[in-house]
Amino acid sequence: MLKEFKEFAMRGNVIDLAVGVIIGAAFGTIVKSLVDDIIMPPIGLLVGGLDFSNLFVSLSGEHYASLAAAKAAGAPTINYGIFLNNVLNFVIVAFAIFMVVRQINRLKRETPVLPPAPTEKPCPYCVSTIPLAATRCPHCTSELKKA
């Protein structure tokens, strides 16, 4: 069983998957920073200095100055601002992956394969298939004119 597991773990696609997960996690950190530190501040400024990560609804009915204050008080909250940040995060990651896959597909695109040149032709008399270079049909023995 140990040998079988070793064979499974050492397959190329399992190692590729592990590398992909590690790179994906690192890419996720970069995108999170891009959203939180670069994209969301200007958007917050455009909508009046609003910090999306601090948007929430308190289910206890009390008003709290911030999400941290509501959590410190133990109040149940619906954190729709964090959800909006995560949706934007997802859209950016999906777009970035789309662009990478698009470029890979563009690089992989092969030149169109031309059909092979014909090597046979039909006999004009009996319509049998004969080689292009034939001067006489082997089926009906008609003499063929050179092309």
Query: Over the stretch 75-105, which tens digit does the pLDDT of each residue have?
Result: 999 999 889 888 887 888 788 778 888 888 8
Instruction: Examine the pLDDT at 64 and tell me if it is beyond 80.
Output: yes
25/7 same-domain check:
yes
90/146 same-domain check:
no
| 3-state SS assignment for residue 143 | strand
122/68 same-domain check:
no
Specify whether the CB–CB gap between 75 and 63 falls below 8 A: no
Instruction: Examine the pLDDT at 141 and tell me if it is beyond 80.
Output: yes
Distances 51 to 12, 15, 41, 43, 70 between C-alpha atoms, Å? 45, 41, 7, 9, 16
pTM of the entire predicted model: 0.52
| 3-state SS assignment for residue 79 | coil
101/125 same-domain check:
no
Alpha-carbon span 31 to 38, nearest angstrom: 10
Q: Which one is predicted more confidently, 51 or 147?
A: 51
Which structural domain, as residue segments, surrounds residue 123? 118-147
98/50 same-domain check:
yes
Which of these, 144, 111, 112, 113, lies nearest to 130 by C-alpha position?
144
As a whole number, the mean pLDDT across the chain is 83
pLDDT at residue 111, as a whole number: 67
For 19, list phi and psi in degrees, rounded to 5.
-65, -40
pLDDT at residue 80, as a whole number: 92
CATH of the domain at 83: 1.10.1200.120
Q: Which one is predicted more confidently, 36 or 130?
A: 130
Count of structural domains within the chain: 2
pLDDT at residue 25, as a whole number: 87
Quick one: average pLDDT of 59-80? 90
pLDDT at residue 79, as a whole number: 92
Alpha-carbon span 125 to 140, nearest angstrom: 8
Sequence-ordered list of residues with C-beta below 8 angstroms from that of 141, at least 6 positions apart, any chain: none
pLDDT at residue 114, as a whole number: 82
136/91 same-domain check:
no
140/91 same-domain check:
no
136/95 same-domain check:
no
Quick one: average pLDDT of 26-38? 81
